[in-house]
Structure 1
Amino acid sequence: MSNEIAVEDDLQESEELYERLVIDIPKGQEALRIDKFLMHRIEGATRNKIQQGIDNEMVLVNDKPVKANYKVRPYDKIVVFDNRHPDSNDIIPENIPLNIVFEDDDVLLINKPAGMVVHPGSGNPSGTLINGVAFYLKQQNPELEENGLPRFGMVHRIDKNTTGLLVLAKTPKAMTDLAKQFFNHTVHRRYIALVWGDFEENEGTIRGHVGRHQRFRKLFTTYPEGEHGKEAVTHYKVLERFNYVTLVECRLETGRTHQIRVHMQSIGHPLFNDDFYGGDKIVKGTIFSKYKQFVDNCFALCQRQALHAKELGFIHPTSKQPMLFESYLPDDMLAVIEKWRKYSENKNDIS
């Protein structure tokens, strides 16, 4: 092994919103307090920030939390969890309605609607789910206005036009625990999607690295040979067939950005009305005036990619009990599914 420190950035091209820096300590490393060691190894880090991370168990050595006076030894494996969200001072609380599914002292479960961006970023400084969460938490604790809003525990995200369940951590320790579960691929995530085309098989697995398109940087794509991007695994199962479109469930092992959308596109089944990946036009079916009008009517009913994060399961960070949450399909997906169901039963009824 090289004497250079290996750093792994698992956030790149991922839906998880925490970086995990993995540092393998080489042979010959002198004994040095871990807070001093990390301050010199992480760009822009301050001793105070590192000590806070250590206190909140966001720094692990050989998979265990340590104290700030721990001395780094050869062959230690250090893992540092660090979010890259805007600082809390950059988040403007806004009175945005939230569909809260569950809440306790550690976690907050929200059912996100279509059209809502998860967190502030370039082009979306306000109106996001996190702006709404900031307002909600301030109503619970007015003192936050004086002391500054806490850093929010977003450990994953879903696309703007994807609906469904998100979990937020309300404490730093809960953040670390949930982030580890996402990195270890132990979080249960089940999505429902309406995709173009019929399947020969009833279930299958798609394996192929997912990363940014080399030419069109706003898009992601699949790299079957693994030459770019990050490993991605999607398991799918057919739920209902409608001749030209199919209702499927997708279970994620990994959480890459646009993973289901690009994986389904890669096997010839883009999501219905996915304008990024070719699902917003007729992919299957003979193009004639009545059928085209029927499809256009379906597009009007569900004006986004037909994808919903239906189930989310994890181990509670404090009680260590398994938790599983389920949300209903939104009205737009229910409407378009029912329209295709009627069409598949009676092809003459395509109004």
Structure 2
Amino acid sequence: MAHTEDESEEQQDFTEELYEQHTIRIDAGQEPLRIDKFLVARIEYATRNKVQKSIDAGRVLVNGKTVASNYKIRPADEIVVYSHREKRGEHIVPEEVPLNIHYEDNDIMIINKPAGLVVHPASGNPSGTLINGVAWYLQQQNKDITEENLPRFGMVHRIDKNTSGLMVLAKNDKAVTSLARQFFDHTVFRRYIALVWGDPAEEEGTVVAHIGRHKRFRKLFDAYPEGEYGKDAITHYKVLERFGYVTLVECRLETGRTHQIRVHMQHIGHPLFNDDFYGGDRIVKGTVYTKYKQFIENCFNTCPRHALHAKNIGFKHPATGEQVLFESELATDMQLLIEKWRNYVKFKGISHSES
């Protein structure tokens, strides 16, 4: 099974790499006590310094809100502690890589990533990635930033190499903590646009199936609807436009697993158009005759990657707490692909019932 997409074998959910969560509920008889002292006594291997740093970074919540180190706990308080797992041994070399910066302030960057650009260095892509470009860009702004203090700088999630669209990066530790926690808690709004094979029977639906590495082909992932393997994953989809043999859909992620939309849509019989990992790079729907086959090949050439674009991303701003939402235009290759299908349907007089 050959694949053109070069992806790391080590792909995992970033937020689970960054955090593990501990929840503590305070007993009714608890005397008032500073939260830093309480956590040092309650959590194994915790020190006063580490606890205070976690509190200052916003990794300790009481009843859903950040607090100061001198906050005194009370009966019925719910304390949530996010333990930070730092990534060691990574070396990011700043490189001048073109970046399409959609929005930027002192805390965050929203980047509109083109298809074909790998997000971070890995064994198959040691350089020339988006993160290399971000490191270079930030160095131009602040010469105090060195290669030593750029380990996976500000990265709290990623999108696949051949997926286009919006992703957020943090520019300081507090922003990293806030955004990573929101991804961990599944409160980040992510809306994707995809062209999929086939004509879904329902106008909208939800796919609930664990996602884990394929048991035979280790570069692929697979859906496990019984939950016997992998990690829980939920995708909501809605039909936007029907073209008979293919359908334009929006997908909203409730979780963020590797290849989630691609795996879930393939699982329900609608692989992404031209997805060479999950069977979308061949004629899935439609009679195979010369003119139709030629049209599909032209479509593959127009959009030479899986047809998936991260159109929206929304979250609470790390500094202001305000809910923000960003939106991007579809990538040009997907716009051209969709227009090809609109013209084809119009010319052939195909209705959605003919799929």
Q: TM-score, normalised by structure 1?
A: 0.83
Q: Which amino acid in 1 is paired with 2:131?
A: I
Secondary structure (helix, strand or coil) at the match of 2:310 reads strand
Compared CA separation, residues 92 and 344, structure 1 to 2 (3 A): same
Q: Distance in 1 between matches of 2:48 and 2:97?
A: 36
Give the gaps of 5 or more residues in structure 1: 1-10
Q: Does 1:342 align with 2:343?
A: yes
Secondary structure (helix, strand or coil) at the match of 1:226 reads coil
Q: TM-score, normalised by structure 2?
A: 0.82
Secondary structure (helix, strand or coil) at the match of 1:93 reads coil
Q: Does 1:165 align with 2:166?
A: yes
Backbone CA RMSD of aligned residues: 3.3
Quote the residue 1:8 is aligned against. Answer: none
Quote the residue 2:21 is aligned against. Answer: 22
Compared CA separation, residues 307 and 86, structure 1 to 2 (3 A): farther
Quote the residue 2:33 is aligned against. Answer: none
Secondary structure (helix, strand or coil) at the match of 1:115 reads coil
Structure 1 position 323, deviation (Å): 0.9
Alignment of 1:298-309 (within 5 A): 298-309=299-310
Q: Distance in 2 between matches of 1:26 and 1:54?
A: 17
Quote the residue 1:117 is aligned against. Answer: 118
Q: Distance in 2 between matches of 1:36 and 1:79?
A: 14
Q: Which amino acid in 2 is paired with 1:22?
A: Q
Q: Distance in 2 between matches of 1:169 and 1:304?
A: 28
Q: Distance in 2 between matches of 1:341 and 1:126?
A: 39
Compared CA separation, residues 146 and 338, structure 1 to 2 (3 A): closer
Q: Does 1:222 align with 2:213?
A: no
CA contact (8 A) 1:244 1:284 kept: yes
Structure 1 position 80, deviation (Å): 2.8
Compared CA separation, residues 51 and 91, structure 1 to 2 (3 A): farther
Quote the residue 1:80 is aligned against. Answer: 82
Structure 1 position 199, deviation (Å): 1.6
Structure 1 position 296, deviation (Å): 0.8
CA contact (8 A) 2:91 2:151 kept: no
Deviations 1:8-45 (A, max 9, x none): xxx98425474321346799xxx98856986848xxxx
Quote the residue 2:31 is aligned against. Answer: none
Q: Distance in 2 between matches of 1:318 and 1:24?
A: 24
Deviations 1:80-127 (A, max 9, x none): 34355565x710000011100111111110000111111112222211
Compared CA separation, residues 326 and 266, structure 1 to 2 (3 A): same
Give the number of aligned pairs: 331
CA contact (8 A) 2:11 2:258 kept: no
Secondary structure (helix, strand or coil) at the match of 2:348 reads coil
Compared CA separation, residues 17 and 325, structure 1 to 2 (3 A): farther
Q: Distance in 2 between matches of 1:233 and 1:125?
A: 32
CA contact (8 A) 1:205 1:235 kept: yes
